[in-house]
Structure 1
Amino acid sequence: MALWFGRSGNEVAIVSDSASSKDVSGMTDDSGKEGEKASAIIFIGSTGIAVRAIAPFIKHKSEDPAVLVIDEAGHFVISLLSGHLGGANELTEFISKLISAEPVITTASDIEGAFSVDVFAKENGFILSDFGKAKEVAAKVLRGEKLRIYSDISMENLLKRPGIGEAEMVSSKEIDKADIVISYRTKLLDYEEPVIRPFNAIGLRLTAKRVYVGIGARKGVSEEDVVKAYDNCLKSSGIEPSAVAALVSIDIKKNEQGILTFSYKREIPFITYSAEELRSVDGDFAASAFVQSVTGVSNVCERAAAYAASRNGREKVLVNKQIYGNVTLAVAVAM
């Protein structure tokens, strides 16, 4: 979405993502609401007008769209709002090159060439919810202090990331010292001492959205059965619900209404694969002659979870086939 201010400062042309346009007088409530739906807003005119226009509609850095300002002569492209999470800085660089203008980016981490935890989270699909702790991490990096990081998944290249400075990975025993904790769990699994204990980390939590829940079910399974099975499985295994990237199964289940309704209400993508695809994944899976006769594979839930994870990293099965009445579930993570 782009807003263009004429020389009088009173005329505004709104160009939406669908490329429709209309003239309005000033930034009205309607145009503000339209802007809330956009992923980016570009003002062509003065920064002052842009600031006054967007002020009533700014919510939080986790929700606000990217906001840019370009002067009428096209000399400067300014990243005004949501530089990292909204992508304004990246868009500013792109448009600047496109129109041969000077990019104006003022976020401290970009000026110093330092590691930005919110950019890192966005690039990896991690969920960042504590912005207060994110500021503490940013300040520590800018002061040149060492970062300590704990991760449940492979982060081999993180320490080589430009601008991260002196950093080290810590073990689960040292998680209390970690500045950043990357995990898909509600509880910490201590691999050195095979016990599960609650997280008590004081660092910034980044939820790794890398978990795939494989589902098998009897034909006509109810939404209620799916809800009970899913919630019980995640709770008992200590999996953070927001870490689930998708619910996965075999393609003959793609129209199973109980699963589709659950997926829609929970806003979890439901992805299905062919029997041939599920057979292609290696692993020691529980086998059922009945399931084989119906679906063409000896196991649906474990194979679906493992296959989905393998398409997004190195797969690791976290929960083997669990039976909950009419539903079977398994859980895998992309490491």
Structure 2
Amino acid sequence: MTTDNTVPTLVVGLGCQRDCAADTMLALFHAALVAGGIDPWRITALASIDHKRNEPGLLALANALQLPLQFFSAEQLAAYEPRLSHRSALAFAHTGCYGVAESAALALAEHLSQSPARLLITRQKNSQATFALACAS
């Protein structure tokens, strides 16, 4: 019998309103992972849309968690639209993408693993941010 020792790639996709505080995103990050039974130390990286490249709270969150943060264009994220659990017209109006957190998580998981990804935790949100967790082997 063989054992598959492949460690899955777990990445978090994040979306946020302008000037969203890192603490607001951190609370959502921890609440979603606790609810999903996922140890925060298993997270490999964070992802978002390139519109948020200079968002102070998002950058502070990545720094606080000591995780790399990668950005994708709306065009890159559009490829994941058919796989989203939720499509937001408001997000599309602001970013050109129907679901930043879910599509960014899927995009980064597939980019890092070079294999198909799936959502382990679909879109979660609080008043200012969205969160999704994707997994790829």
State the TM-score, normalizing by the size of structure 2: 0.90
Using the alignment, how far apart are the partners of 1:256 and 1:333 within structure 2? 25
Aligned length: 134
1:289 aligns with 2:89: yes
SS in 2 for 1:304: helix
Q: Report the counterpart of residue 234 of structure 1 in structure 2.
A: 33
- Give how far 1:209 is off: 5.8
Query: What percent identity do the matched residue pairs reach?
Result: 28
Contact 1:279 1:297 in 2 (8 A): yes
Contact 1:302 1:330 in 2 (8 A): yes
Match of 1:246 among 45, 48, 70: 45
Supply the RMSD in Å over aligned alpha carbons. Answer: 1.7
Contact 2:33 2:39 in 1 (8 A): yes
Q: Report the counterpart of residue 134 of structure 2 in structure 1.
A: 332
When Rg is computed on C-alpha atoms for both structures, the one with the higher figure is 1
Using the alignment, how far apart are the partners of 1:303 and 1:244 within structure 2? 17
Using the alignment, how far apart are the partners of 1:230 and 1:290 within structure 2? 22
1:259 aligns with 2:73: no
Amino acid at match of 2:131: L
Structure 2: gaps spanning 5 or more residues? none
Using the alignment, how far apart are the partners of 2:70 and 2:135 within structure 1? 15
CA-to-aligned-CA distance 1:216-259 (integer Å, 9 cap, x gap): 11100001101111111111111122221111000001111111
CA-to-aligned-CA distance 1:53-96 (integer Å, 9 cap, x gap): xxxxxxxxxxxxxxxxxxxxxxxxxxxxxxxxxxxxxxxxxxxx
Using the alignment, how far apart are the partners of 1:264 and 1:209 within structure 2? 23
Contact 1:209 1:242 in 2 (8 A): no
Match of 1:318 among 104, 108, 120: 120
Bigger helix fraction: 2
Contact 2:84 2:102 in 1 (8 A): no
Contact 1:322 1:329 in 2 (8 A): yes
Moved >4 Å (runs of 4+): none
- Give how far 1:328 is off: 0.6
Using the alignment, how far apart are the partners of 1:265 and 1:322 within structure 2? 21
Using the alignment, how far apart are the partners of 2:25 and 2:99 within structure 1? 18
- Give how far 1:182 is off: 5.2
Q: Following superposition of structure 1 onto structure 2, how do residues 1-80 of structure 1 map, counting pairs within 5 Å?
A: none
Q: Report the counterpart of residue 221 of structure 1 in structure 2.
A: 20
Higher relative contact order (CA 8 A, sep 6+): 2
